[in-house]
Amino acid sequence: MSKLIPPHGGKGLTCCLLEGNELEAEKKKAASLKQIFISPRAKGDLIMMGIGGFSPLTGFMTKVDWKGVCEKFLLEDGTFWPIPVTFDVSEEDGNAISIGDEIALFDPKGDEIMATMKVTEKYEMTEADKKFECEKVYMGEGTPTPEEFWKIAKDDHPGVQMVMDQKKYNLAGPVKVLSEGEYPVKYAGIYQKPAEARKIFEERGWKEIAALQLRNPMHRSHEYLAKIAVEVCDGVFIHSLVGNLKPGDIPADVRVKCIDTLVKNYFVEDKVVQGGYPLDMRYAGPREGLLHATFRQNYGVSRMIIGRDHAGVGDFYGMFEAQTIFDKIPAPTEEGKALLCTPLKIDWTFYCSKCDGMASLRTCPHGKEDRVLLSGTMLRKGLSEGTTIPDHFGREEVLKILREYYASLTEKVEIKTHAAATGGK
């Protein structure tokens, strides 16, 4: 009997990835179906449904599910879910598809059919629908009114831009996933299915596991967060996004190299597991923090480390809004339908010269002038612009890897920082 937290939804791991003879038969059938191109975001969502990472989802959401998730954090059946998982198609493709059709979902970048889908619903996403989704899912305390939000969101929020750029129709229905794309080969040893991560945790005898979400290279603050987790849990799961990022973010292979270096030199190795997952960032701040906890539960994780400005963009969210949102979500009473992975809430962390070590606002009585404020965005900005990185910002072994990466770039991308990260709040 496993000691690990059960998968979300009460149905175990719902894996849509086919294998063996069933896979070969579906691939043969898929070759004769109408092919619809998919976005990188949809590709990541399909793979997560394939490997059980999005349990209990087994397909793209209906309009009722979409609206319930946006408005109430709930699927139609009452299961908690924080962010829409939808599939959009053009007006031309939508008009050519009827309810009941089977279609093949084709990844143009990878040049392969990723899945087949039985279309059970087709619904139009009007401009008003898209704005509704943006205001419910992406609007935070940093822009508390729709007027303030829309004044800057269309130009400065990549998540909002993704939603507003969606095509005319959404298609809903169950999927059969045929491929995990490039991830098993490109990120061998890092990319994992939930069942594989659970097996590692069980072999180590772990019960309480904390996940550290990473889209930036690990700096001293991340290291400190991970070590706090090791102190209070059986181990820490350093779980990196290996899907697509926005321009200026550091690619996964460089981040993985940095993590390997840190774990080897500064951690007790048998207290750390490193992994990767194939999603694109949605940049939804607090809502994305909830999504991170939801799918980490499927990986066997019981605590989600939530620090300052988790998954944030610019100044759209309050510094700790991704923590407080966990206190406001519904808690369905039916077994399996509530989110069980709880937040490990940690205050703003930094290096303090007077404390002579890492500290947080809860433990350090000193002023700003004594603190090295740590931020992944600030680190990327400094490296990109070639400015001096302050002492104690990162481990020298890691900074060496990052400097080599930035030296290899031929084009620089402007990095925008959160006001709080630079002492602006």
**CATH code, domain carrying 204:** 3.40.50.620
**265 belongs to the catalytic site:** no
* Contact present, 402 and 254 (Cβ < 8 Å): yes
> Which CATH number do you get for residue 174?
3.10.400.10
Distance CA 17, CA 328 (A): 34
The answer to whether position 150 is within a domain reads: no
The answer to whether position 111 is within a domain reads: yes
Q: What are phi and psi of 204, to 5 degrees?
A: -85, -5
* Contact present, 281 and 246 (Cβ < 8 Å): yes
* Contact present, 175 and 58 (Cβ < 8 Å): yes
Element housing 29 (H / E): helix 20-30
Q: Which two tokens stand for residue 421?
A: 């990260």
Using alpha carbons, list the distances in angstroms from residue 315 to 19, 139, 148, 349, 365: 45, 11, 12, 19, 26
pLDDT of the residue at 410: 75
Whether 240 and 193 map to the same domain: the answer is yes
The answer to whether position 130 is within a domain reads: no
Whether 199 and 318 map to the same domain: the answer is yes
Which of these is catalytic: 41, 215, 255, 395? 215
Q: Which two tokens stand for residue 357?
A: 């070590």
Q: What are phi and psi of 4, to 5 degrees?
A: -75, 155
Cα–chain center distance at 344? 17
Long-range contacts of 99-103 (CB under 8 A, 24+ apart): 101/34, 102/29, 102/33, 103/33, 103/34, 103/35, 103/36, 103/171
Whether 403 and 288 map to the same domain: the answer is yes
Q: Which two tokens stand for residue 66?
A: 């979409």
Strands of 16-94 (E only): list them. Answer: 34-37, 59-60, 87-89
* One pLDDT digit (tens) per residue for the chain, 425 residues: 789 999 999 999 999 999 999 999 999 999 999 999 999 999 999 999 999 999 999 999 999 999 999 999 999 999 999 999 999 999 999 999 999 999 999 999 999 999 999 999 999 999 999 999 999 999 999 999 999 999 999 999 999 999 999 999 999 999 999 999 999 999 998 999 999 999 999 999 999 999 999 877 788 888 999 999 999 999 999 999 888 766 667 888 888 889 999 999 999 999 999 999 999 889 899 999 999 999 999 999 999 999 888 888 889 999 999 999 999 999 999 999 999 999 999 999 999 999 999 999 999 999 999 998 766 667 777 777 777 787 888 899 999 998 898 888 877 655 555 555 455 44
Whether 174 and 243 map to the same domain: the answer is no
Q: Using alpha carbons only, how large is the chain's radius of gyration in Å?
A: 21
Q: Which two tokens stand for residue 405?
A: 């990466």
Provide the greatest CA pair distance for the chain.
Answer: 69
Whether 214 and 277 map to the same domain: the answer is yes
Element housing 350 (H / E): strand 349-352
pLDDT of the residue at 414: 57
Whether 237 and 177 map to the same domain: the answer is no
Burial label for 421, CB within 10 Å (0-12, 13-18, 19+), is: buried
The answer to whether position 8 is within a domain reads: no
What is the pTM for the complete model shown? 0.92
Distance CA 344, CA 364 (A): 19
Which of these is catalytic: 170, 216, 244, 298? 216
Distance CA 288, CA 215 (A): 13
Whether 204 and 345 map to the same domain: the answer is yes
Whether 244 and 375 map to the same domain: the answer is yes
316: CB partners within 8 A, 6+ apart? 138, 139, 140, 142, 143, 149, 153, 157, 285
Whether 117 and 26 map to the same domain: the answer is yes
338: CB partners within 8 A, 6+ apart? 80, 330, 331, 332
344: CB partners within 8 A, 6+ apart? 210, 228, 229, 232, 233, 303, 304, 305, 306
Q: How many CB atoms lie within 10 A of CB 425?
A: 11
Whether 217 and 350 map to the same domain: the answer is yes
Whether 94 and 217 map to the same domain: the answer is no
pLDDT of the residue at 380: 72
Q: What are phi and psi of 168, to 5 degrees?
A: -65, -40
Number of domains the chain contains: 2
Q: How many CB atoms lie within 10 A of CB 156?
A: 14
The answer to whether position 146 is within a domain reads: no
Distance CA 409, CA 41 (A): 25
Whether 177 and 226 map to the same domain: the answer is no
Provide the domain limits for residue 269. 189-422
pLDDT of the residue at 331: 97
Q: What are phi and psi of 209, to 5 degrees?
A: -125, 135
